[in-house]
Structure 1
Amino acid sequence: MVIIKVDAEIELKAIQQKDYEIVYDAVDQNRSHLRKWLPWVDYMKSAEDYIEIIKAWQEIIDNGTGLQLGIFHKGEFVGMCGYNEIVSLSSRGQIGYWLTKSAQGKGIASRSISHLVSYGFDTLKLNRIEIICGVYNYRSRALPEKLGFVEEGILADYEFLYDHFHDCIMYRQLKREYKG
């Protein structure tokens, strides 16, 4: 099982089958908060819906094509982060993340993602790390900007959110630019 210790307060851990209820509860209690930017929230209607999702997360970890991890702050599950996609042939990974509303504003996301970037370059041997955010998701955009990612461009109508397409921004960090 993958466990990444970020600091004294935060651990990133691979979600296990037994964790399906805590993931569901976090999403269910934060639906209106998460729904604005995450296109899958409405489709997760019961804790059991996570059983197959967690199995898929475990499979992508096992085959090296992704790395979905729970964010645990002081032992409490507060969100997810990880590599939604890892393309080994291109040494490229794409990071995604979300936090419960109560966990925001405490530096949890920035500390977690900063550590995940280091893990990507040092352990996964990636050359390029990407983060894609909604153009108007200013809170999410602040994270890659704070971490020194470079804005590469706008992806028009990149993602469908329930009833409309929205534009996203791609940020990137290259190994040669990374300052750790």
Structure 2
Amino acid sequence: MIRIRIDDDLELREIHQRDRKKIYDVVDENRVFLKRWLPWLDYTKSPHSYLSVIKSWQQNIEMGTGMELGLFYHDEFIGMCGFTTIEPNSRRAQIGYWLAQEYEGKGLMMKTVKGLTDYGFKEVGLNRIEIICGEKNLRSRKLPEALGFTPEGTMKEYEFLYDHYHDCILYRMLKSEWPY
């Protein structure tokens, strides 16, 4: 089981089927807030919706092609942060994250992404880590920018959000540039 201790209060953990109700409840309580930037919310209508999703996350971990992890604060599930994709041959990964609204603005995701990036370079052996953010999602963009990730460009109409396409910015960090 993957567990990444961020600090005394914060931990990333591998998700299991027994966690599906916790995930659903947090998503459902934050549905309107999260829907502005996450395109998958309409597919999560019940805890049962997560059966195949969690199975896929577990398979990706086993194959080394992803590492989606639950974020726990004082042992309470509050969001997700992990490598949505890992390209083992290129030693490259992409980080995705979301957080329940009540925990925003406390620096929790900043610490988590920093810890996951460090883990990716030191434990997974990655050379490049990417983060893709909606161009207009200024709150999400502050995170890679504050950690020193380099914006590589804007990807026009990169993602479809329910009724429209939106542009996204690709950020990257190379192992040789990681200052921590």
> Which bracket does the TM-score occupy, shorter chain normalised?
over 0.9
Unaligned runs of 5+ in 2: none
In the alignment, residue 25 of structure 1 is paired with which amino acid? D
Per the normalisation by structure 2, the TM-score is 0.99
* Runs (4+) off by over 4 Å: none
1:18 equivalent in structure 2: 18
- Structure 1 position 24, deviation (Å): 0.3
Pair 1:28-2:28 in alignment = yes
Aligned match of 2:130: 130
Percent identity of paired positions between Structure 1 and Structure 2 = 52
2-side partners of 1:76 and 1:104: how far apart?
15
Q: Which residue of the partner structure matches residue 8 of structure 1?
A: 8
Query: What per-residue deviation string (whole Å, max 9, x for no partner) do you get for residues 20-40 of structure 1?
Result: 000000000000110000000
1:54 aligns with 2:54: yes
Distance 1:72 1:168 in 2: 28
Partner of 2:154: 154
* Distance in 2 (alpha carbons) for counterparts of 1:176 and 1:129: 11
Q: Secondary structure at the match of 1:89?
A: coil
CA apart distance, 1:51: 1.1
Q: Deviations over 1:84-137 (max 9, x none)?
A: 000011110000000000111111100000000000100111110000000000
| Counterparts of 1:155 and 1:74, CA distance in 2 | 37
Residue deviations 1:51-103 (CA, integer Å, cap 9, x gap): 11111110000100000000001111000010000001111000000000011
Q: Distance in 2 between matches of 1:146 and 1:125?
A: 23
Secondary structure of the corresponding residue to residue 170 of structure 1: strand
TM-score by length of 1: 0.99
- What is the aligned-residue RMSD (CA, Å)? 0.5
Matches within 5 A, 1:87-106: 87-106=87-106
1:148 alignment partner, SS class: coil
Q: Name stretches of at least 5 consecutive residues in structure 1 with no aligned partner.
A: none
